[in-house]
Structure 1
């Protein structure tokens, strides 16, 4: 069987960027913690991820108990992602103003919004309407956090340390999911909603203060022009055009959208319903379900941070996506809490082998001046999550969880195969560029 055309490889900008950005075989693999900025960013991101997970679990359970409706639960989950449509604009702002500046402003917003809920909870004025309003405002900003933080890592960490930094970042996110899920449920049970939310405010504030310590280097020879509406849309258009012209990048973005639409609702936003209405568990049981998925993801991220994503991240990403949906197909049929927990643990482990290589791939094949815009497009893919949640809510109300989850996982499996076939040449070529 003949290999890929060398001329085609040289002509493909994604392969050129990928090959140029890969560390030489003899390059040292020093830790990303040797970089001062990463030593500040890692604990800052850990604190904000911990706060995200505590907040999501506590408020999701509160909405389900107060309203008694899975439709309202999915509506709450969807509101947290209202800003996905404007995520590319955060990327443009990061490329223009600096990613640290944008990230600091975003985290200041988290502090103010969580403080509002803490005051309402402490004074006994908290109600579902207030939760929905704050979730809507927070959702304008929160979906872009991961994209901006990854673009900042790429700007402050040398290329030879990038894969390790992304792996460590993913480990911190997954460990925060485990700790946040368990501690969030425990804090509310022991102290009540108000004191628990004071802890959330403290975590957001800690993250903001640590973010101020990050030093983002100025890109040489680049002048930041005065922003205008026309220039903003032009720069956004450049990011879209770059993605459309880079087949491997386009495939990764479509796979990200698919994962958010068909996979994450089953192992995230719908878990309060699964815990209470399918398995008959309480708030602590919900925390355990969330921690199982997050624990599996943590194990996968730890393994990847130690071993790396390998020479063919695109192939690993696609294979893991297929296995992920297959496990979710089994989870849809699980009738006991123990079986569900085991399958969630396995699903979390496998999804790390999809999402971590995807992040590394996106950052490696994207030109430095366009990383913010491309990561903004990556965050735009999260819009599949609120759409998937809302449709799942109506599907569960009519068909039940098992049938709806089976349809979602089956669709995800077929769509993954379609993506692998449609962009097979570009994705397989990535690992063969030397």
Structure 2
């Protein structure tokens, strides 16, 4: 079927409409949860290290994501997605009960956050695979840009709503909102279309197929650098925006939870603008080049931000950082989906999630660095390491700039 190119072309596909809506609800809930629990742990423990550890637990599922990818290549990805989201909803409801009964403790929060993290990484594997399954290749850039807006809108709505409920009504009502969003994501997910593999389930050898996926990725001239760069940005660039923002809000700018929400929302507005531009305006035939440009700009902006003590200028820089992240990560997703075969898609996306393990490492180490050396040293040091690594990657894989040859496409 032909779809007229427009900023919302992918939304004319029924399955993608339902997935976009379901992903939005899920991400709104998870962003609310991240802000609420991050602020709770900071206030309850006064430890940047524990805030970083909490953020790291959100990605505990990266170790099981490859196995989820193997299974997703053989059974309904739609069913798997909805089961995982149902489990996340029950965990949020459990924490709500602890709040209502006044039994909540930081230790319980860490346990539930770790279990929720097991779901979150696998959720990302499945949603990316479903997009590649149901959207034509010529609309992947548009679909990826629109899919990214679910995260950007969630950071705006989730942050502002979470902070408002937390400051005015308390932790209990804030978690009513989180649980409700998770429930709506499951209901909307029922409308997603899933393509099932022709290979019988009884013929699956999970470890054997995982090894096959690793071998496929290692042989790919395209996927090798993408995996390296994905790990790099997760370890050295994402920690600021995905876990350590409460520390910056309180210790650098002297703000409360509402100031934190304003910072997160400003960052998300920039990311949303970047995603919208990627979906509707930017038509790059070489997304790998755009990915590298966005990555370099991202690191340079982090260095400037680390030296900026004025709140107003800091907000502007956060918006620009958000836009650069969208340029980089959407382009990275398009490259990966374009050059991956259908029957390998779940495994590749699952193994790709291992790169996200750089984020919990970066969060824990970053929290320790902040406690001993301060926020500015931590952000600047991470950004310099990132820029040096980007330069080395271009030397190792010059195709990141010259462009990958079409012979590698879905081979």
Structure 2 length normalisation: TM-score? 0.95
- Alignment partner of 1:54 out of 22, 27, 32: 32
Aligned to 2:123: 145
Does structure 1 conserve the Cα–Cα contact (< 8 Å) formed by 2:289 and 2:400? no
Q: Give the drift of 1:344.
A: 0.9
Aligned to 1:380: 354
Instruction: Work out the CA distance in 1 between the residues paired with 2:194 and 2:139.
Output: 16
Aligned to 1:337: 311
Query: What is the RMSD computed on CA atoms of the aligned residues?
Result: 1.8
What SS does structure 1 have at the residue aligned with 2:99?
A: helix
Q: Which stretches in structure 1 are left out of the alignment for 5+ residues?
A: 1-22
Instruction: Work out the CA distance in 1 between the residues paired with 2:401 and 2:307.
Output: 33
- Alignment partner of 1:182 out of 155, 160, 163: 160
Instruction: Work out the CA distance in 2 between the residues paired with 1:128 and 1:336.
Output: 32
Would you say how many aligned residue pairs link Structure 1 and Structure 2? Answer: 406
Aligned to 2:278: 304
Aligned to 1:223: 199
- Deviations along 1:219-254, one digit per CA (max 9) or x if unpaired, are 4xx2323266xx101111111111111122111111
Instruction: Work out the CA distance in 2 between the residues paired with 1:385 and 1:236.
Output: 23
Q: Give the drift of 1:110.
A: 0.8
Aligned to 1:429: 403
- Alignment partner of 2:17 out of 39, 46, 53: 39
Q: Give the drift of 1:68.
A: 0.6
Q: Which stretches in structure 2 are left out of the alignment for 5+ residues?
A: none
Does structure 2 conserve the Cα–Cα contact (< 8 Å) formed by 1:84 and 1:382? yes
Q: Give the drift of 1:33.
A: 2.0
Does structure 2 conserve the Cα–Cα contact (< 8 Å) formed by 1:322 and 1:417? no
> Compared with structure 1, are the counterparts of its residues 425 and 38 closer, same or farther at alpha carbon in structure 2 (3 Å cutoff)?
closer
Instruction: Work out the CA distance in 2 between the residues paired with 1:309 and 1:421.
Output: 26
Instruction: Work out the CA distance in 2 between the residues paired with 1:346 and 1:217.
Output: 38
Q: Give the drift of 1:28.
A: 4.7
Instruction: Work out the CA distance in 2 between the residues paired with 1:416 and 1:336.
Output: 29
Instruction: Work out the CA distance in 2 between the residues paired with 1:27 and 1:120.
Output: 49
What SS does structure 2 have at the residue aligned with 1:218?
A: coil
Tell me if 1:323 matches 2:297: yes
Alignment of 1:98-177 (within 5 A): 98-177=76-155
Q: Give the drift of 1:96.
A: 1.3
Tell me if 1:295 matches 2:247: no
- Alignment partner of 1:350 out of 324, 327, 330: 324
Alignment of 1:20-31 (within 5 A): 28-29=4-5, 31=9
Runs of 4+ in 1 over 4 A off after TM superposition: 431-434
Instruction: Work out the CA distance in 2 between the residues paired with 1:317 and 1:214.
Output: 29
What SS does structure 1 have at the residue aligned with 2:309?
A: coil
Structure 1 length normalisation: TM-score? 0.90
